[in-house]
Amino acid sequence: MHINCLKEDLLYGIQVVGKAVSGKNILPILGGILISATDNKLIFRATDLDIAIECSIGADVIKPGSIVVADGRRFIEIVRQLPSGNINMQSINDFDVVLRYSKASLHINGLDTEEFPLLPKIEGEVQGNIKTEIFNRLIRQTIIAASTDNSRPVFTGILLDIKEDYLTMVATDSHRLTISKNAWNGHGSGRYIIPSRTMGELSRILSEESVNIVASQNHVYFQTEKITFVSRVINGQYPDYRQVLPNKNTYTTNVKINTQKFLESISRATLLARDNNSVVKLEFVKEDNIKMSASSPDIGDIKEEIDAVIEGESFSAAYNGRYLLDALKVMESENITIDLTGPVTPGLMRPELEEEDQSEYIYLILPIRVN
Amino acid sequence: MHINCLKEDLLYGIQVVGKAVSGKNILPILGGILISATDNKLIFRATDLDIAIECSIGADVIKPGSIVVADGRRFIEIVRQLPSGNINMQSINDFDVVLRYSKASLHINGLDTEEFPLLPKIEGEVQGNIKTEIFNRLIRQTIIAASTDNSRPVFTGILLDIKEDYLTMVATDSHRLTISKNAWNGHGSGRYIIPSRTMGELSRILSEESVNIVASQNHVYFQTEKITFVSRVINGQYPDYRQVLPNKNTYTTNVKINTQKFLESISRATLLARDNNSVVKLEFVKEDNIKMSASSPDIGDIKEEIDAVIEGESFSAAYNGRYLLDALKVMESENITIDLTGPVTPGLMRPELEEEDQSEYIYLILPIRVN
C-alpha cells in the first residue's frame, strides 16, 4: 500500500471508525484499525463485535493494499497532532506502515490484515431513508429513557419500529416511556432493538444529509455516502408500547406551559430534591398555575409558582425531577402540553407541534407515590 | 439581615469564596459561607483553614446582619440556576435565610454565625503591588514545576521571593526548576512558600486590575478592591535556587527555535514516548537543526527534523517530553532559546523577550540518562 492523502481526511476517517475500536484487549486485532487503499479511496474499518464501522475518504492511491494499525486509539491521538496538509503513507515490512510529512517520518506498528473481521454482508428486506437531522432527533428524544440495568437487556435498547410510512423509536426504563415518530419512505416493516449506547455513538458520527437503514434479523445497517455502521440486534420481545398509553378519554387535566420557564424551575427544584430521591411536587391549580415545591433536610426547601394554562381538575402529584428535566431538554418546542389523569397514573408530555409536522413525540412519566 | 441584590453579583461573590469552601466535613461550619450585610455591601467569607477568602459586592441593605449558609457548594449550584435580576434575601428563625424572586421563595438552612472562623488580621512588613495579568503569568509559568510529593512539603509550594524592585516566583520538583521574575514596587524583602494548589486557585479568582500583596511569617494576603485572599505559609527552608543555575561561561551550545513548531513536534513525540517514561531524544546539530526521535515498543517510532538556529557544539541528549511540553506551553513568546552544556547537565529554556521587558523566565530541565 502506498498513498497520499490530506491529514484532515485521514483524521476524519479514523475518528469515525474509532468509535468502534475496542478498549478491551481480549482480541488484540479489535484494538486496531484496518486501512485499505483502492480506486482512489481509503477505506477504514473497526469493530468491537457489537458494532462495526466502515468509512471512506478520497486519496491518491499510488499502490493499492491494506494494513492494520495495531493501536487504533493511540493512532487517532497521533494523527490529530500531525501538521495540516499532505501525508504520505506506505506499508513496510510485513504489517507496518510509515507516514511521511514535512521532514519527518512516523513508523507505526501493524497487525496481520488476514485476522481482521469481515463486515457482515449488507442484506435485509426492511429498509428506508430519512434525513440525518430527523434521525438524530429521534435518537435524542428516546435515548434518555433507555434503561442502564443489564438484567433486562431488551430495555437497554432503543426499539426501531419500522413501517412503510413511519419510523418510530421507543425506549423505556419502566419509570418512563418515550416514543418518537416521523414520516419516512420505507419498504417492509419490522421491529429491531438496538443497544442505546450504539445509537448514541451513531448519532455522534452522522453528519451527512441523510441516512439509509437496512434491517435484518441479526444486524441493522446505517449507511450514508461515506459511512456504513452495522449494529447487532438485541434478541427479545419488546412490549406493546401503545398499550401502555392512557386512553385519551380518561384525561382529567390538561396543562400548557412554556418549556424553558418550566425547565428552569425544575432545575432549581431538582438541586434541592437531590438528597430526597429527586422528588418534586407539582400542584396543578385549575385556570391558574403550577405550584412547585421540593425540599431537602440538609439544604432547605423551595416553593415556586409557574405560569401555565390549566384545564380540568386541580390535583397534586410528585415526580422525579431529573426525569422531568430529561424530557424538557429534548422537547424542542416553545410550549409543551401535559395530559394527566390524577396523581397515580402516568402523565403524558408532548411538544406543541405545528399542524404540518409529520412527527410525534410522547414522554410518558409515572408519578412517585409519596406520603 | 434583609437585603436586595442582583443575582449576578450574588453568584460572583459566592463563587469567589466558594474556592475556600471545605469539601471535607470534619467541621460542618467550614462547609458553609458567611454572608454579612453592612453599609450597602454584602461580604462573603469562606475558609478551609488552609486558605480564607473574603469578597464584597454592592447591595441594597434594608437591615444589616449576618447568616451562614450551611451547604456552601450546593448554595452556589442553586444560585447559578436562579433567574436574572433582583433577589431579596432575609434571615428567618435563628440561623436560616429566605431568598425571594419572581413568584418563588427559597428557604436555605443556616448555621450559627458565632462559630464561623475570623479572618486572620491583615498585617505584615513586606508588601507590594503588581498587575494581576503579570501576577497570573508568574503563577502560570512556575506552578508547572511544583512537586506533588507531600513527603517534602517545601517543594509542593511556590516560593515568593520578594525584593524591593522584583517579585520572583520559584518552583521545583527536582527534575526541573522554574523561575519567573518581574519588576514591581515593593516594600521590604522576604521569602514565603505558598502551597501551589492555593496559588492555582488564586489565579483563577483574580480578575481585577492589580493585586496587593502583604506578607507575614504565617500568612500571605492577596488583596484586590473586592477580594481578600489569605493563604497559610509552608514552613521550611527553600534551597538557594540561583546556585542551581549553570554558569553562563560553561554553555557549549545555544539553540534558538520557534516555540509553536517545537511544541507541535514534541507533542507528537510525547504521544509515542508515553509507554517509555516519555523519553524524547534530541540531537542538536550545529548550524543545522534538531533531530528529534522517540519510540514505543507497542506503537512505533517517530523521527523529525525541526528547523533551529544552533551555535556551538553538536550533541545528543534525552528529555522527558512532558516536561518539555509543560515549559513550551507557558513560554508566551514566538521564539525560545535553549542554553546547553552537554548531555548530562541541565538545559536552560527561556522565552525570547523584548529589550524593554522587565521580566525574566527560566525553565531549567535535567536530561534523562538513557542507555
pLDDT at A88 over 90: yes
How many C-alpha atoms does A45 have within 13 Å on its Cβ side?
20
**With contact defined as beta carbons under 8 Å apart, do A140 and A330 qualify?**
yes
Q: How high is the pLDDT of residue A348? A: 96
Predicted confidence band of residue A120 (pLDDT cuts 50, 70, 90): confident
Q: Which residues does B contribute to its contact with A (CB < 8 Å)?
A: 70-71, 74-75, 77-78, 81-83, 96, 102-109, 264-265, 267-268, 271-272, 289, 298-306
Q: pLDDT tens for residues A204-262?
A: 999 999 999 999 999 999 999 999 999 999 999 999 999 988 888 899 999 999 999 99
The structure's pTM equals 0.91
What is the band of B371 on the pLDDT scale with cuts at 50, 70, 90?
A: low
The pLDDT assigned to A246 comes to 87
> B246-365, what's its fold?
DNA Polymerase III; Chain A, domain 2 (3.10.150)
Q: What is the pLDDT of residue A354?
A: 81
Q: Give residue A342's pLDDT.
A: 86
pLDDT classification of B253: cutoffs 50, 70, 90: very high
B125 has pLDDT over 90: no
Model pLDDT for residues A292-344, shown as the tens digit of each residue: 999 999 899 999 999 999 999 999 999 999 999 999 999 999 999 999 998 88
For the segment B255-277, what is each residue's pLDDT rounded down to a tens digit? 999 999 999 999 999 999 877 78
Work out the average pLDDT over A56-78: 97
Residue A357 has pLDDT above 80, yes or no: no
**What number of other Cβ atoms are within 10 A of residue B38's Cβ?**
15
Mean pLDDT taken over chain A: 94
pLDDT score at B121: 87
Instruction: Please determine, for residue B355, whether its predicted confidence score (pLDDT) is greater than 80.
Output: no
Asked if pLDDT for residue A12 goes beyond 90, the answer is: yes
Give the mean pLDDT of B34-40. 96
CA pair distance B59, B186, nearest whole angstrom? 34
pLDDT higher than threshold 80 for residue B24: no
Residue B158 and residue B137 in contact, taking contact as beta carbons nearer than 8 Å: no
pLDDT for the residue A371: 61
CA nearest B184: which of B134, B140, B141, B224? B134
**Cβ-nearest to B299 among A71, A104, A303:** A71
For the segment A75-83, the average pLDDT, to the nearest whole number, is 96
Q: Minimum mean pLDDT among A20-29, A147-156, B176-185, B338-347: which range? A: A20-29
For residue A35, name the pLDDT band (cuts at 50, 70, 90): very high
pLDDT at residue A15 in the model:
97
Digit-coded pLDDT (tens) for A163-214: 999 999 999 999 999 999 999 989 999 999 999 999 999 999 999 999 999 9
pLDDT in tens, B9-20: 999 999 999 999
The pLDDT of residue B120: 86
Do A281 and A293 form a contact (C-beta atoms < 8 A)? yes
Q: Which residues of A touch B102 (CB under 8 A)?
A: 304
Distance from CA of A305 to the nearest CA of B (A): 5
Q: d(Cα B171, Cα B138) in Å, to the nearest integer?
A: 11
What is the CATH number assigned to the segment(s) B2-115? 3.10.150.10
- Chain A CA closest to residue B80: A268
- Domain(s) labelled CATH 3.10.150.10 in chain A stretch across 2-115, 126-243
* B358-363 average pLDDT score: 95
What residues of B are in contact with residue A268 (Cβ under 8 Å)?
A: 78, 81-82, 106
Would you state the pLDDT for residue B57? 97
The DSSP result for A130-172, as a single string, is EEHHHHHHHHHHHHTT----TTSGGGGEEEEEE-SSEEEEEEE
Between the alpha carbon of residue A112 and those of residues A88, B37, B363, the distances in Å are: 21, 72, 45
Cβ within 8 Å, pair A78-B103: no
| CA gap A298, B359 in Å, rounded | 50
Q: What is the pLDDT of residues A127-167, one digit of tens each?
A: 999 999 999 999 999 999 999 999 999 999 999 999 999 99
Q: Does A277 score more than 90 pLDDT? A: no
> C-alpha distances in angstroms, A93 versus A15, A87, A96, A220?
26, 19, 6, 38
Which of B74, B107, B300 has its CB closest to that of A106? B300
Write out chain A residues lying below 8 Å of B104, CB-based: 265, 302-305
CB of B346 closer than 8 Å to CB of B257: no
Closest residue to B108, CB basis, from A103, A106, A299: A299
Give residue-wise pLDDT tens across range B47-88: 998 899 999 999 999 999 999 999 999 999 999 999 999 999
pLDDT for A24 equals 75
Length of chain A: 371
Do B69 and B95 meet the contact criterion of CB atoms below 8 Å apart?
no
What is the pLDDT, as a whole number, of residue A311? 95
Domain with CATH 3.10.150.10 in chain B: 2-115, 126-243, 246-365
* Residue of B365, B326, B327 whose CA lies nearest to B343: B365
Interface test with A, best of B75, B78, B265 (most A CBs within 10 A): B78
pLDDT digits (tens, 9 = 90+) for B84-106: 999 999 999 889 999 999 999 99
Give CA angle at B244 (B240, B249), nearest 5°. 130
Strand partners of residue B312: B253
**B316: which strand partners?**
B283
When pLDDT is cut at 50, 70 and 90, the band that residue A356 belongs to is: confident
Which is nearest to B310 in space by CA: B282, B281, B277? B282
Q: Name the CATH superfamily, with its identifier, for domain A126-243.
A: DNA Polymerase III, subunit A, domain 2 (3.10.150.10)
Q: How far, in Å, CA of A326 to CA of A348, rounded?
A: 14
Is CATH 3.70.10.10 what the domain over A245-365 is classified as, yes or no?
A: yes
- Contacts B301 to A, Cβ<8 Å: 106-107
Task: Please indicate whether residue A171 or residue B24 has the higher confidence score (pLDDT).
Answer: A171
